[in-house]
Amino acid sequence: MSQRGLAEQAGLRQALISEIERGEANVTMDSLLRIAIALQVSLPCLLDGSSNQAQVRRRRD
């Protein structure tokens, strides 16, 4: 899923998703929950990254 797609699904700004990805944002619990729902993972899974459900794939530019 692209940053734009995630932002749309989560109801957040794409810029915020980018800042979170780069570790430059202070994220609220509400935003984390929205992201988890959009990615269809639990909040604990999102936070610890130990799930086999979610795989991060980066697009090659």
- Report pLDDT digits (tens) over 25-56: 999 999 999 999 999 999 998 888 765 554 55
Cα(61)–Cα(58) distance, integer angstroms = 9
Q: What is the DSSP string of 20-55?
A: HHTT-----HHHHHHHHHHHT--HHHHHH---SS--
Q: If you average pLDDT over residues 15-32, what whole number do you get?
A: 94
**Sorting pLDDT into bands at 50, 70 and 90, what band is 58?**
low
Reported as a pLDDT band with limits 50, 70 and 90, residue 59 is: low
Asked whether the predicted pLDDT for residue 12 surpasses 90, the reply is yes
Domains, in order of start, for the chain: 3-48 (1.10.260.40)
pTM of the model: 0.76
